[in-house]
Amino acid sequence: MSWRAVVLTLFPDMFPGPLALSLAGRALADGVWALRTIDIRDFATDRHRSVDDVPFGGGAGMVLRPDVVDAALAAADPDLPAICLTPRGAPLTQARVRDLAAGPGVALLCGRYEGVDQRVIEARGLEQVSVGDYVLSGGEPAALVLLDAAVRLLPGVMGAAASAEDDSFSAGLLEYPHYTRPAEWQGRAVPPVLLSGNHAAIAAWRQEEAERITRERRPDLWAAYRAGADRLPAPAARRN
Ligand SMILES: C[S@@+](CC[C@H](N)C(=O)[O-])C[C@H]1O[C@@H](n2cnc3c(N)ncnc32)[C@H](O)[C@@H]1O
């Protein structure tokens, strides 16, 4: 059975959007994964089809109603992990993406306006996930980010030519830099070791570059990587 994505949204026309193209699009066409959108507005009960209301306690903006969102969630596949996309959520990580890709799929609730009434998030036990420390106008671009990251990890999607193993975050480090032809461009040469044909030296250079870049750009990742490496029995094991 395909990996299943269910997206609950007020803007179903945003899907599959960019996921209809390239690797994800081919995999969608080939049935590696399936996408279903649920239009939250279909679950409104009044004649105006309202999905939101003013916030208790005052303040600007509108809040998605718990009864409408709950009815929409009831229409999603109950066996899928259900995620509410919100800037208040836990940051999305490659590890979480890997877990989701290894499961049956995911149901994603996209907020709009000021967000979703907290009671339905709690009543449904939704996992709250953020795609970064910035505020989008809606959960849809966040859902596209999460789905893109997960779908590329599904078996067969990337093919033999590409591998996720070396990607940034896979080993707790950012990835080393890449170079292709020409070997010299605008007076800039490719690092000589990459032209040496010495695979051990190339692997060592890439590892050093990955460590240097992570140390310089992401002290948080570097500290976690060091803590993990310190738990390993011998330094040689860390190089593999
Ligand atoms: C304008 S935002 C609401 C922001 C909310 N008032 C706050 O400050 O936390 C509307 C919707 O966009 C989505 N969204 C915005 N930024 C996001 C992020 N960084 N990660 C995931 N979803 C996000 C959420 O679904 C949110 O309910």
Q: What is the pLDDT of residues 95-127, one digit of tens each?
A: 999 999 999 999 999 999 999 999 999 999 999
d(CA 128, CA 87): 9
d(CA 175, CA 64): 40
Amino acid identity for residue 231 in this structure? R
User: Model confidence at 176, in pLDDT bands (50, 70, 90)?
Assistant: very high
pLDDT(162) > 80: no
* Ligand 1 atom nearest residue 133's Cα: 19
103 ligand 1 Cβ < 6 A: no
CA distances from 199 to 34, 178, 202 (A): 40, 15, 5
Q: What is the pLDDT of residues 66-77, one digit of tens each?
A: 999 999 999 999
Q: Could you give the percent of the chain with pLDDT greater than 90?
A: 90
Residue of 10, 65, 85 to test ligand 1 pocket, by largest number of atoms within 8 Å of CB: 85
Q: Whose CA is nearest to atom 9 of ligand 1?
A: 87
pLDDT of residue 234: 55
60 ligand 1 Cβ < 6 A: no
Segment 175-195 mean pLDDT: 98
pLDDT of residue 159: 78
221 ligand 1 Cβ < 6 A: no
CA of 137 to the centre of ligand 1 (A): 6
Its pTM stands at 0.94
d(CA 152, CA 173): 19
Q: What is the pLDDT of residues 189-212, one digit of tens each?
A: 999 999 999 999 999 999 999 999
138 ligand 1 Cβ < 6 A: yes
* Ligand 1 atom nearest residue 132's Cα: 19
Q: Residues 152-169, buried b or exposed e (16+ Cβ, 10 A)?
A: bbbeebbeeeeeeeeebb
Contact between 28 and 36 (Cβ < 8 Å): no
Q: What is the pLDDT of residues 2-56, one digit of tens each?
A: 999 999 999 999 999 999 999 999 999 999 999 999 999 999 999 999 999 999 9
